[in-house]
Amino acid sequence: MQQEEIWDADTAQRYDTPGSGMFAPEVLEPAVDRLAQLAGGGEALEFAIGTGRIAVPLAERGVPVTGIELSLPMVEQLRTKADEATIPVIVGDMASTVAPGKYTLVYLVYNTISNLLTQDEQVQCFRNAARHLTPGGRFVVELWVPELRKLPPGQTATVWQSEPGYIGLDTYDVLHQHVVSHHFRFDETQQARLFRSPHRYVWPAELDLMAQLAGFELETRHADWAGAEFTAESRSHVSVYRIPPAG
């Protein structure tokens, strides 16, 4: 299944949930605050900008934001909120597409580096981020910690969320470091809506090595956007990589 097939017009139209889920103020505000601070008065580039969930409020905060995005339907949704002059978007693959200009901040949030399904593409993505940054510039990655401790030997699937009307189920191919997330949404009828997305999961240590290959140093790693300590029990991390300042 190609990313273009996954992020189609139907998914793009359903993506935004204003005020709730990943669009809830308590999710968005700490992320936008932190990214605005890390941009340090310069310009930001979002890899896989999607419908502008983060980019729109970040631009409203006064940070100039450009995007790279593979899916035209996702960009069309973004265009209902911000025009090309406000948030320019280059349609293409974040592992290779070049946006004009230099940036103090490149960011790639909501686990999206895992949408690149090979190690090679993920390394290329780090190199592409480095290519766009000024000396001292930062690349921020938000990514979940693989939950393999929950996968008993001999089993290939885990339920990671179960609540009324929703079941989140992951199926693993541990040989290739792949996981497919299955999101089942259902009501009292016999029908369920299924959204599936394939990912290549990455351990924080592997991510750091990819960063090193592209010339970055790890500056900070926290468990969330508000700066909670990253521990062995953390389910996610916000990692800030930096190109060492010249001299």
Ligand X SMILES: C[S@@+](CC[C@H](N)C(=O)[O-])C[C@H]1O[C@@H](n2cnc3c(N)ncnc32)[C@H](O)[C@@H]1O
Q: Which of 58, 70, 207, 243 binds ligand X (CB under 6 A)?
A: 70
For residues 151 and 235, is the Cβ–Cβ distance under 8 A? Answer: no
Check residue 44 for interaction with ligand X (CB under 6 A): no
Tell me which residues in 81-110 interact with ligand X (CB under 6 A): 93-95, 109-110
Smallest distance, Å, CB 185 to ligand X?
16
Q: What amino acid is encoded at 128 in this protein? A: N
What x/- string results for residues 7 through 26 when contact with ligand X is judged by CB under 6 A? x-------------------
Q: C-alpha 70: how far from its chain's center?
A: 13
For residues 158 and 168, is the Cβ–Cβ distance under 8 A? Answer: no
Q: Which residue is nearest to ligand X (CB)?
A: 50
Smallest distance, Å, CB 74 to ligand X?
4
Check residue 126 for interaction with ligand X (CB under 6 A): no
The C-alpha atoms of residue 168 and residue 186 are separated, in whole angstroms, by: 12
Alpha carbon distance, N-terminus to C-terminus of the chain: 46
Q: Which two tokens stand for residue 149?
A: 């401790």
Query: Strands of 166-173's sheet, edge to edge?
Result: 157-163, 166-173, 178-186, 192-200
Q: Which two tokens stand for residue 206?
A: 């592997």
For residues 42 and 132, is the Cβ–Cβ distance under 8 A? Answer: no
Check residue 115 for interaction with ligand X (CB under 6 A): yes
Identity of the residue, 9 or 217, whose beta carbon is nearer to ligand X in the bound complex: 9
Q: Which span (67-75, 127-135, 181-189, 212-220) binds ligand X, by CB under 6 A?
A: 67-75
Q: Which of 32, 48, 141, 210 binds ligand X (CB under 6 A)?
A: 48
Residue ranges in contact with ligand X by CB under 6 A: 3, 7, 48-50, 53-54, 68-71, 74, 93-95, 109-110, 112, 115-116
